[in-house]
């Protein structure tokens, strides 16, 4: 197994659970990948690379936590779903369990405080199309950019600026003009066709939710997890079958099966030894190099006093903004020192990437004070800035069509990661599902039966009825 992030560890733990011995090689000095945690030396706080939020739709990740016994460490917040800060207004958005799409009515009053009824109704064509989409018809939109798609369907510029731009950046980590219409509409059809969802927050460091438990499962069957041990090359037999990995120190590790659970940029740097005819694997490596990543800046601030009881809020995007969402970890991790610990995310940053830490901290404090005005009176005890150059792949037009399936193109070798064809947005949930899908196929090759991957979310209520009646689905049944 190459890679000890969510995809690699979840896959390896699943295989260990059915009796296989697994070796995991990780280039970094720690496990967890982009969901890792470590102790910050000055405050002694266990910090994550960036703050993360789960949703009740994270079925595969939650299932993993249940198998590991750590699901109870997630703090769920059913109401409000989220608090939005829009031009000084705090809008508490709800997600009741009403039949879809009636659940959207719960936030109608909040929406009409910010946009006109005419702006709202300009989405009618998009809503109608979204309710009728299935996965196949969604993917047919992949070549279009989301902004052009919305404009072509008559959505007002005001509503695009207020809702679509913010939602796409926050949920898909890419600006609307550079986003695949398929990626956007997949998410929107779930928002329309599913109800009663909630956000959840790790009460403990994110990496501790899954990494230690997965490692214990792997080691319990005689396997191992080796950090600071990069996989450099892939070795194939003359027939093109997987033979093993070559580590950075030149040591060759032979195995009957392998899984590449790596970010696409790391996979793109790999070489293949042997089997000149392994066109499928070489194509996979070439495709991986075409994925671009969204850059994040995560800022963490420690203050001398509490700032309020809110756990999580997001900003409706406006020109000049830096941060997208904020987390008060002192209200999530039940800290008892009377101080506030605030974490924020700046997603797909542009010029701010080159700002100094002091500039980023100052801007983050300014945006924090727009939500908590009394934060200007608090004393900042400590601050750190994380720059994450390869956070998640960008959901650009054409990317959905590039996402590879679990088979690598060489027998005995599979691929996993949030960027693979999981039917989900790039996320920890996508990584967990990819690990489950790969584990099922590896186990089957070794005569074991695994049923781990959760079914993709489907729409209910009126959207579900309309989806089942579309001509595309009728013809597919014939």
The residue extents of the domains of the chain are 6-71+202-292+397-445, 93-197, 293-393
Q: What pLDDT was estimated at residue 317? A: 87
Low-confidence ranges of the chain (pLDDT < 70): 275-277, 470-478
Please state the CATH superfamily assignment of the domain spanning residues 6-71+202-292+397-445 in this structure: FAD/NAD(P)-binding domain (3.50.50.60)
- C-alpha atoms less than 13 angstroms from C-alpha of 24 in its C-beta half-sphere: 37
Residue pointed to by tokens 């801007």: 363
- CA dihedral sign of residues 74, 76, 82, 83: negative
Range 95-134 burial, b when 16+ CB lie within 10 A, else e: beeeebbebbeebeebbeebbeeebbebbeebbebbbbbb
Helix pair 428-445, 59-68: axis angle to 10 deg: 70
Q: Is 385 helix (H, G, I), strand (E, B) or coil?
A: strand
Q: What pLDDT was estimated at residue 276? A: 64
Instruction: Report d(CA 385, CA 28) in Å as an integer.
Output: 20
Question: What Å distances lie between residue 31 and 5, 70, 211, 229, CA to CA?
Answer: 6, 17, 6, 11
Q: What pLDDT was estimated at residue 472? A: 46
**Is-contact 288 271, C-beta < 8 A?**
no
Cis peptide before 274 (omega within 30 of 0): no
Q: What pLDDT was estimated at residue 473? A: 41
For 293-393, give the CATH class: alpha beta
**Is-contact 58 71, C-beta < 8 A?**
no
Q: What pLDDT was estimated at residue 471? A: 55
**Is-contact 163 17, C-beta < 8 A?**
no
Q: Do 6-71+202-292+397-445 and 293-393 come out as alike in CATH topology?
A: no
Question: Residue 361 belongs to what H/E stretch?
Answer: helix 357-371
Instruction: List CB contacts of 473: < 8 A, sequence separation 6 or more.
Output: 134, 467
Question: What Å distances lie between residue 164 and 97, 175, 297, CA to CA?
Answer: 23, 10, 22
Q: What pLDDT was estimated at residue 279? A: 86
Instruction: Report d(CA 91, CA 108) in Å as an integer.
Output: 11
pTM of the model: 0.94
**Is-contact 432 6, C-beta < 8 A?**
yes
């Amino acid at each position: 197994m190459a890679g000890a992030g969510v995809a690699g560890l979840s896959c390896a733990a699943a295989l260990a659970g059915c009796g296989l011995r697994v070796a995991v090689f990780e280039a970094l000095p720690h496990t967890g990948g982009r969901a890792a945690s470590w102790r910050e030396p000055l405050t002694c706080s266990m910090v994550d690379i960036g703050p993360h939020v789960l949703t009740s739709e994270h079925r595969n990740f939650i299932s993993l936590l249940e198998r590991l016994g750590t699901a109870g460490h997630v703090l769920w917040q059913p109401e409000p779903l989220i608090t939005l800060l829009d031009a000084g207004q705090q809008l508490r958005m709800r997600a009741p369990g009403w039949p879809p799409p009636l659940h959207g009515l719960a936030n109608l009053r909040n929406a009409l405080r910010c946009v006109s009824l005419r702006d709202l109704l300009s989405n009618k064509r998009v809503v109608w199309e979204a309710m009728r989409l299935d996965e196949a018809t969604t993917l047919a939109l992949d070549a279009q950019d989301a902004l052009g798609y919305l404009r072509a369907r008559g959505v007002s510029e005001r509503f695009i600026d207020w809702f679509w731009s913010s939602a796409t950046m926050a949920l898909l980590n890419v600006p609307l003009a550079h986003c695949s219409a398929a990626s956007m509409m997949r998410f929107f059809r779930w928002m329309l066709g599913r109800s009663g969802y909630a956000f959840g927050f790790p009460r403990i460091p994110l990496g501790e939710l899954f990494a230690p438990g997965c490692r214990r499962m792997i080691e319990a069957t005689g396997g191992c997890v080796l950090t600071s041990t990069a996989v450099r090359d892939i070795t194939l037999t003359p027939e093109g079958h997987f033979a093993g990995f070559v580590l950075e120190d030149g040591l060759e590790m032979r195995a009957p099966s392998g899984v590449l659970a790596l970010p696409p940029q790391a996979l793109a740097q790999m070489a293949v030894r042997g089997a000149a005819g392994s066109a499928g694997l070489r194509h996979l490596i070439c495709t991986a190099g075409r994925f671009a990543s969204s850059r994040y800046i995560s800022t963490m601030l420690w203050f001398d006093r509490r700032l309020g009881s809110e756990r999580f809020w997001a900003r409706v995007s406006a020109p000049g903004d830096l941060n997208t969402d904020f987390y008060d970890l002192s209200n999530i991790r039940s800290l008892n020192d009377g101080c506030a610990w605030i974490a924020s995310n700046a997603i797909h940053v542009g010029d701010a990437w080159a700002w100094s830490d002091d500039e980023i901290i100052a801007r983050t404090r300014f945006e924090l004070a727009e939500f908590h005005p009394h934060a200007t009176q608090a004393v900042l005890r400590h601050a750190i800035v994380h720059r994450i150059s390869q956070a998640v792949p960008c959901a650009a037009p054409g990317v959905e069509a590039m996402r590879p399936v679990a088979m690598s193109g060489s027998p005995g070798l599979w691929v996993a990661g949030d960027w693979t064809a999981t039917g989900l947005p790039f996320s920890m949930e996508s990584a967990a599902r990819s690990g489950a899908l790969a584990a099922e196929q590896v186990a089957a090759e070794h005569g074991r039966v695994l049923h781990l991957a959760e079914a993709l979310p489907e729409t209910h209520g009126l959207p579900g009825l309309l989806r089942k009646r579309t001509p595309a689905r009728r013809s597919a049944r014939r």
